[in-house]
Structure 1
């Protein structure tokens, strides 16, 4: 049995619905308030179509109707539309207030999320704790070699490398960024 292609992403599903029902769904500009029960209407129109699962369709419709663009469209006195764009029931004050509350909560959540992300970014930016002192020949410093830093003495400073001497007498050439200078 051959498996058919199925839309799984909410954005893809809404794009599919906008293509299939252009008088009802839009991808840009002002959204149209959807008729209550549009989920069942879609299922009956796509009868036998395996492109959408009910669960994914429900999630996509939820995302669409919770978008700021859609919530802005819910205004008292405006008609809801069916799949063909025909006017249906009129939006009442209670429905409009509910949409405005949803919009307010969504905006507050987005604002908090943005604030938290900004706070996290600030935490990850390291402030230099102390200004590193200038390296000189003869200074004792630590160099990161492997997992542990080892104590060494600087014996020569070149443009891109620093020559150091380990306590055993072995000399190493290291990059300046591997030196821990406190």
Structure 2
């Protein structure tokens, strides 16, 4: 029995939908507000399509409709569109408020993730000078590569990385936190 090709991730599914329904789905630019119940329309239109699982389609639509680009499209006076790009119902104030709330929460989460990444970068940078000052070019140290430490020689110390040479001659660039002895 021959196995069918199947779309597996949300980006592939949205790209497929944009190809099948170009007047409804877009990959770039301003998104169009989708008709409520578009999932069922897609299922009925693509009946028998083995490339698309309902679960993955549902997840892809969720991803698409929670994107900032899509949430910005939910605004006063805008119409939702069907699969052919025909306008359907007008977006209600309640729907606009919900989209704005979703957008606000998403932006707050993104801001928190950004702050956390910056905090981690600052922490790593603060740790760097202590370890980098203790090392000199030519020192032999052990570095964790994978799960086990290997003996290497320091050949260059850069701002955020240290270049080392393995006994076989291969050069690696490692972070200071991977060095286990100085």
Do they fold alike, i.e. is TM over 0.5?
yes
Please say which structure displays the higher CA radius of gyration. 1
1:1-182 paired onto structure 2 within 5 Å: 1-125=1-125, 126-129=127-130, 180=182
- Could you say what secondary structure the match of 1:89 adopts? strand
**Alignment match, 1:170:** none
Structure in which a larger fraction of residues adopt helix = 2
Q: TM-score, normalised by structure 2?
A: 0.72
Instruction: Return 5+ residue gaps in structure 2 as ranges.
Output: 144-148, 150-154, 156-178
Q: TM-score, normalised by structure 1?
A: 0.72
Measured against aligned partners, the alpha-carbon deviations of 1:32-79 in whole angstroms (never above 9, x if no partner) come to: 000000000000000000010000000000000000000000012211
Instruction: Give distance in 1, aligned partners of 2:98 and 2:87.
Output: 21
The answer on whether the counterparts of 1:81 and 1:87 sit within 8 Å (CA) in structure 2 is: yes
Moved over 2 A (4+): 127-133, 142-147, 177-180
Instruction: Give distance in 2, aligned partners of 1:16 and 1:132.
Output: 53
User: How many aligned positions are there?
Assistant: 145
Instruction: Return 5+ residue gaps in structure 1 as ranges.
Output: 136-141, 148-159, 161-176
- Could you say what secondary structure the match of 1:128 adopts? helix
Measured against aligned partners, the alpha-carbon deviations of 1:113-140 in whole angstroms (never above 9, x if no partner) come to: 011011111212224349969x9xxxxx
Measured against aligned partners, the alpha-carbon deviations of 1:83-127 in whole angstroms (never above 9, x if no partner) come to: 000111110111001000000100110010011011111212224
- Could you say what secondary structure the match of 1:88 adopts? strand
CA 1:11/1:143 → structure 2, altered by over 3 Å: closer, same or farther? closer
CA 1:3/1:120 → structure 2, altered by over 3 Å: closer, same or farther? same
